[in-house]
Amino acid sequence: MPLDPRLTPARPDLADHRLRGQVAAARFVEGRPARVVAPSAPLRRRPEPLAGLETEAVRGDAVTVYEVRDGFAFVQIVRDGYVGYLPEAALGPADPAPTHRVAALRTFVYPAPDLKRPHTAHLSLGAAVAVDDREGEYWRLAGGGYVFAGHAVPLAQTAPDVAATAERLVGTPYLWGGRTSLGLDCSGLVQLCLESAGLLCLRDADQQEGALGTALPPGLDGLRRGDLVFWKGHVGMMLDASRLIHANGHHMSVAIEPLAGAVARIAEKSFGAVTSIRRL
């Protein structure tokens, strides 16, 4: 089968050395490890500031860097394998590795353990940080800065109710390629919720449909909380037997609506009929 270009670090002029014999490239290189140090970073298909947003990396994400040129890094995100171009300035050393993840929808980084000090950055749900120690009510971060301790939990602490995480994000604006609590698309919402539960999840709806859970028989009966409903190019999550939550361009936000109504509207106006329903 052909390699998925979204997950294949290869161009005509350069490719990952592990792809030798599988792709044609002028040269093969061994990537170097790095980590996202910006609060978030846009990953684009081309090294251009106005190229479309494919997905986002967030602080703590490990990446493999294959080339840096003209302010952009050609990378593969380790978490989900997505390939593209990140701003060079968003990257830093791979170490120290994160120890905690942000469990609040978003939080602030302060220069001191004091809520009255001006914040230096904000971090979204799912971002990861390396904690040195605790000072009062704050985590002291490796490399500097402080985060309120109640907003970040050890990496091993998860939120197993994926639908509850989705409900927390109701009203988040729709953003094509977005995967932070400031903006989400349909598959970004699913990925963020599953990762908060400690589950690996690919980035796009078609990838998720092919990899997640077990397919249910056709029909809309007998659905349960957490079931995933797929269309060609779209995905939503069931909150119960009849209600769907999804990030969508109709509401331009993460919204809850009756599944039957969403199915009828989507069939008429956008993605066609439901292609599958999968149970995690």
pLDDT band for position 2 (cuts 50, 70, 90)? confident
pLDDT of 40 reads 98
Distance between CA atoms of 220 and 200, rounded to whole angstroms? 26
What's the token pair of residue 166? 């989705």
Dihedral sign computed on CA atoms, order 234, 237, 240, 244 = negative
Percent of the chain scoring above 90 in pLDDT: 98
Q: Which domains does the chain have, with CATH numbers?
A: 5-92 (2.30.30.40), 100-154 (2.30.30.40), 162-279 (3.90.1720.10)
Show Cβ contacts of residue 61 under 8 Å, excluding neighbours closer than 6 positions: 35, 36, 77, 78, 79, 128
pLDDT tens-digit profile of 185-225?
999 999 999 999 999 999 999 999 999 999 999 999 999 99
Cβ-contact 46, 171 below 8 angstroms:
no
pLDDT(1) > 80? no
Q: What is residue 31's predicted lDDT score, i.e. its pLDDT?
A: 98
Q: DSSP labels for the chain?
A: -PPPGGG--EETTEEEGGGBTTB--S-EE--EEEEE-SSEEEEESSSSTTSPEEEEEETT-EEEEEEEETTEEEEEETTT--EEEEEGGGEE-S-SPP-EEE-SSEEEEBSSS-TTSPPSEEEETT-EE-EEEEETTEEEETTS-EEEGGGEEETT-----HHHHHHHTTTPBB-TT-EETTEE-HHHHHHHHHHHTT----SSHHHHHHHSSEEPPSSSSS--TT-EEEETTEEEEESSSSEEEEEETTTTEEEEEEHHHHHHHHHHHSS-S--EEEE-
pLDDT at 65 over 90: yes
pLDDT digits (tens, 9 = 90+) for 220-231: 999 999 999 999
3-class SS of residue 68: strand
Which backbone phi and psi does 204 adopt, to 5 degrees? -100, 160
How much is the mean pLDDT over the chain?
A: 97
| pLDDT tens, residue by residue, 83-131 | 999 999 999 999 999 999 999 999 999 999 999 999 999 999 999 999 9
Q: Note whether 127 and 165 are within 8 A (CB).
A: no
